[in-house]
């Protein structure tokens, strides 16, 4: 662990100095290498999926783990798309000329060495390698043991492509051990690693945050809400709710709780319940919800703050916008929350009051995603306020420093 962290630290100063053209050429080569080696990656993935099924790993996790030709093509396309994005390094964020003649520039710079610890999703390996390269960072990748073969195959193909394009050795490091003590030792190396990004279940993230001596950018869970206002277009609301809950229920930006204004509940909930039933969604509702949806199960206090990651939805009828805001403040996780309304004042009140990384008006929470935000991909979605918030794309993988240009000035 010490060697790979030291190798990354040593390489970081050279990676930070790669030109935009060098980085883009490497990313395109990486994408081409991945396409050419599709059979190798898919063969490794089939073995991982087979083992996962033998171990009775939940189907939702197997779905995230599984790759096929279209998924792999999408991963390659994501790497290629990052090459087309503006370089976040070396930008002048602001510039000031002082009365004494000093020119002060605030310049964007890489973070340095990033450790990412993640579960299941092989696409994270490719996304993180591409994002870190484009932002001038080195990365240590610790994926879940259930995806070890797939991650190794992806890593070998992508790092080989990068090396052939001139990326310094050590820019990418893959941690292959599942020894918790070894991973814990990495979290102690604050002199070699600059930031840790855990991406996975709440238990993993809390353990990393508890153990690490290195700054951690995290989100514990995604308890995301959609509030259907009294001034909502109900056809629009139905479409948004169905997408937010069922398009991919196993991800952190899927809706887990629906709040409905009491003035539209009688009209909206029975229609919505039928649509949700067709998608096999289980509704857990309060007493008012069950009045209009007799088949709903009673919601417990625990249900309001639960990230189900499944086709289960908590539903509550509220008396007004203020009650909805209070519910979100109490039970939300500051991830993604949405209001459906045609009232501009209500929308403004909602967006101003809800303290989440992304707040939506008349749109699905599923859009809180680096790719959907035009970032190409993401390292994860942060619900912290320091250093980054929301999808972590290229700009969020940089810091800044001040470059001060003088001509012999000294301070009086």
Query: What pLDDT, in 10s, does the model give residues 138-156?
Result: 999 999 999 999 999 999 9
Q: What are phi and psi of 138, to 5 degrees?
A: -95, 155
**In this predicted structure, what is the pLDDT of residue 98?**
98
The span from the CA of 190 to the CA of 113, in Å, is 10
User: Comparing C-alpha atoms, which of 349, 313, 397 is closest to residue 131?
Assistant: 397
Contact 113, 138 (CB under 8 A): yes
**In this predicted structure, what is the pLDDT of residue 284?**
98
Contact 112, 407 (CB under 8 A): no
The span from the CA of 89 to the CA of 78, in Å, is 20
**In this predicted structure, what is the pLDDT of residue 405?**
98
Contact 391, 381 (CB under 8 A): yes
User: Comparing C-alpha atoms, which of 385, 412, 387 is closest to residue 110?
Assistant: 387
The span from the CA of 216 to the CA of 184, in Å, is 14
**In this predicted structure, what is the pLDDT of residue 59?**
82
Number of C-beta neighbours around residue 209 at 10 A? 15
Beta bridge partners of 259: 227, 316
Q: What are phi and psi of 375, to 5 degrees?
A: -90, 0
pTM for this model (two decimals): 0.94
Burial of 223 (0-12, 13-18, 19+ CB in 10 A): buried
Give the list of residues 6+ apart from residue 274 with CB closer than 8 angstroms, or none: none
Chain segment 67-86, per-residue pLDDT in tens:
999 999 999 999 999 999 99
Half-sphere exposure of 141 (CA within 13 A, CB side): 34
The two structure tokens encoding residue 391: 């999808």
- Domains of the chain as residue ranges with CATH: 2-217+392-405 (3.40.605.10), 224-367 (3.40.309.10)
**In this predicted structure, what is the pLDDT of residue 319?**
98
Enumerate residue ranges in the chain where pLDDT < 70.
none
**In this predicted structure, what is the pLDDT of residue 225?**
98
**In this predicted structure, what is the pLDDT of residue 133?**
98
Chain segment 172-231, per-residue pLDDT in tens:
999 999 899 999 999 999 999 999 999 988 999 999 999 999 999 999 999 999 999 999
**In this predicted structure, what is the pLDDT of residue 181?**
93
């Amino acid at each position: 662990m010490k060697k790979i962290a030291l190798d990354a630290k040593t390489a970081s100063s050279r990676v930070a100095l790669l030109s935009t053209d060098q980085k883009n050429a490497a990313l395109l080569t990486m994408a081409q290498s991945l396409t050419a080696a599709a059979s190798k990656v898919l063969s490794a993935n089939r073995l991982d999926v087979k083992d996962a099924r033998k171990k009775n790993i939940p189907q939702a996790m197997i779905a995230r783990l599984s790759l096929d030709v279209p998924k792999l093509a999408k991963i390659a396309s994501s790497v290629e798309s990052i090459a087309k994005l503006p370089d976040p390094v070396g930008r002048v964020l602001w510039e000031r000329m002082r009365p004494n003649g000093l020119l002060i520039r605030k310049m964007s710079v890489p973070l340095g060495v990033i450790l990412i610890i993640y579960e299941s999703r092989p696409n994270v390996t490719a996304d993180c390698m591409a994002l870190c390269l484009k932002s001038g960072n080195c990365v240590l990748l610790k994926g879940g043991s259930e995806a070890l073969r797939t991650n190794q195959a992806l890593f070998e193909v992508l790092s080989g492509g990068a090396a052939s394009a001139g990326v310094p050795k050590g820019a990418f490091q893959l941690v292959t051990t599942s020894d918790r003590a070894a991973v814990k030792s990495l979290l102690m190396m604050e002199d070699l690693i600059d930031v840790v990004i855990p991406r996975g279940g709440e238990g993993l993230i809390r353990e990393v945050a508890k153990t690490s001596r290195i700054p951690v950018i995290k989100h514990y869970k995604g308890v995301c809400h959609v509030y259907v206002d009294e001034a909502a277009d109900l056809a629009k609301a139905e479409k948004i709710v169905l997408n937010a809950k069922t398009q991919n229920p196993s991800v952190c930006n899927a809706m887990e709780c629906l709040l409905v204004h009491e003035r539209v509940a009688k009209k909206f909930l029975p229609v919505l319940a039928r649509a949700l039933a067709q998608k096999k969604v289980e509704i857990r509702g309060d007493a008012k919800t069950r009045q209009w949806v007799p088949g709903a199960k009673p919601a417990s206090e625990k249900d309001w703050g639960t990230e189900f990651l499944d086709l289960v939805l908590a539903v509550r009828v509220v008396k007004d916008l203020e009650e909805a805001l209070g519910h979100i403040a109490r039970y939300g996780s500051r991830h993604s929350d949405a209001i459906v309304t045609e009232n501009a004042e209500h929308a403004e009140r909602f967006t101003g009051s809800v303290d989440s990384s992304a707040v939506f008006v008349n749109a699905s929470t599923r859009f809180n995603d680096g790719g959907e935000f035009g970032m190409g991909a993401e390292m994860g979605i942060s619900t912290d306020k320091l250093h980054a918030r929301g999808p972590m794309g290229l700009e969020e993988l940089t810091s800044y420093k001040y470059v001060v240009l003088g001509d012999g000035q000294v301070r009086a």
